Amino acid sequence: MILIVDDDPSITASLALLLKQHGHRSASAHSVDEALGAIRSERPSLVIQDMNFSRRTTGEEGLALLSAIRAEQPDVPVILMTAWGSIGLAVEGMKRGAADFITKPWSNTLLVQSVETALELAETRDVAAEAPSRSELDAKFDFGKIIGSDPKMLRVLELIGRVAPTEASVLIMGESGTGKELVAEAIHANSRRRGRPFVKVNLGGISSTLFESEMFGHVRGAFTDARQDRKGRFEVADGGTIFLDEIGEVDPSSQVKLLRVLQDRTYEVLGSSRSRTVDVRVVSATNRALHELVGRGEFREDLLYRLNLITIQLPPLRERRADIPRLAAHFLNMAAEIYHRDVDVIAPRAMDWLKTQNWPGNIRQLRQTIERAVVMGDANELTLDDFIAVRDLESRERRDASLPDAGTMTLDEIERGMIVKCLQHYDGNLSRVAEALGLSRAALYRRLEKYGIEG
């Protein structure tokens, strides 16, 4: 049973009818006391509650009721509703444990989706004391692209399996090279949207001037060089999943535009004043600590709470060393096929060495190391000497930062070369590149455009 709490009987009646049309039984309460009585007697599976029950519009009454409900029934999901919504109130409600926040007038589609997502997540909340085995997970889910059976990875896979069938927004966090894109693909592959588009967007590579056009599209004549209509990424992803990679790199003005489409699934094509709606599941990823960015005023707190209904934290490779042999063997087979080399085994001493390394670049670095060893080696077995040779070569490349002889290069050529080198060194992470070069992100974007470099 779903409990609807609102002092306006017309609101509770409308919501009750909407829920009934979608197969949900409900009961109504029109005051705080009625709501708490129903919580104790009916033990609802979900609560939809207003934030104001008098002439006051601060939302304090609703927050107090939320706290009381959480004290009485800690596991029941609560969806907050108010016509007097504010960013601060929404965030405070989410901090206190609300499952979602809806503003009046509501969208029937989004409200029902929020209700069903909250119910599905509540049903899958209980986790077994021990993680299931890899074979048990593979029997239930499609995890074919993800290699690993370390207990930490099994927990990650179990969580993916539980949240994938829901419509919950997911934030994937982890160091660079830990496989965040593969996790996003696994979420989509195991969702009800699996037959629909999966659209990847590297937000770190989109400048603020191009953000609206890239994400929402543009009509012909919207700006100089807009010679024809173009679909945005959200329109392409309609009905499916959109993967917002490097979400922590979005500048403040673009964050506002992104928040709107995540809030009510509406947007406007650049050059058009007509609002459009989109049906997408949002999965995002970052290697940055978003809560720290919020604390520094660099990332909107309300956007963070829209993105991370569920957070998946990926372990770095150094914390799942048991998976290194399988990963190394997989990358060896791939490299041998790509580079047409007759190499099919890694010597035991070499494998032991691989397992002892810290791998700051994680799985991506391991793959690059294996590939280089395959290219540089000349036998059908990779030995410790092969990997030491790769390590020494990489050390020389990192040290090779000497200035060219006078008169051999212009300042522009030197600047372009340093930008390219930094992009390679930081795996295309524009924030880290800008920081290393002593530039703002805007200044870096101007230089990328100036030199025709793809970020």
pLDDT for 24 equals 94
> Residue 208, SS3?
coil
pLDDT for 405 equals 66
Cβ contact 22:38 at 8 Å: no
pLDDT for 183 equals 97
pLDDT for 129 equals 53
pLDDT for 84 equals 59
The CA distance from 78 to 93, in Å, is: 10
- Name the strand (E) or helix (H) holding 19: helix 9-21
Angle at 173 between CA 172 and CA 174, to 5 degrees: 130
Cβ contact 199:184 at 8 Å: no
The CA distance from 182 to 283, in Å, is: 12
pLDDT tens sequence across 225-279: 767 888 899 999 999 999 999 999 898 889 999 998 988 888 888 888 788 999 9
Average pLDDT per block of 10 residues along the chain, 455 residues long: 93 94 93 92 93 76 91 91 71 88 85 92 68 90 94 94 93 94 97 96 86 86 72 94 94 90 87 87 94 90 90 96 96 92 93 94 93 88 91 70 67 83 82 80 83 79
Q: How far is CA 293 from the centre of its chain?
A: 16
> Residue 268, SS3?
strand
> Residue 345, SS3?
strand
Residues in the chain: 455
Please count the other Cβ atoms lying within 10 Å of the Cβ belonging to residue 360: 12
Beta strands in 304-453 (DSSP E): 310-313, 345-346, 381-382
Domains for the chain: give ranges and CATH numbers. Answer: 2-123 (3.40.50.2300), 134-313 (3.40.50.300), 317-399 (1.10.8.60), 411-451 (1.10.10.60)
Angle at 138 between CA 136 and CA 140, to 5 degrees: 75
pLDDT for 434 equals 83
pLDDT for 333 equals 94
Least Cα distance to 65 among 107, 26, 97 occurs for: 97
**Sequence letter at residue 336:** A
Q: How many angstroms separate the first and last alpha carbons of the chain?
A: 51
What is the residue-wise DSSP string for 51-97? S-SSS--SSHHHHHHHHHHHHH-TTS-EEEEESS--HHHHHHHHHTT
The CA distance from 298 to 437, in Å, is: 20
Residues ≥6 apart with Cβ < 8 Å to 173: 180, 285, 286, 287, 290, 311, 312, 313, 314
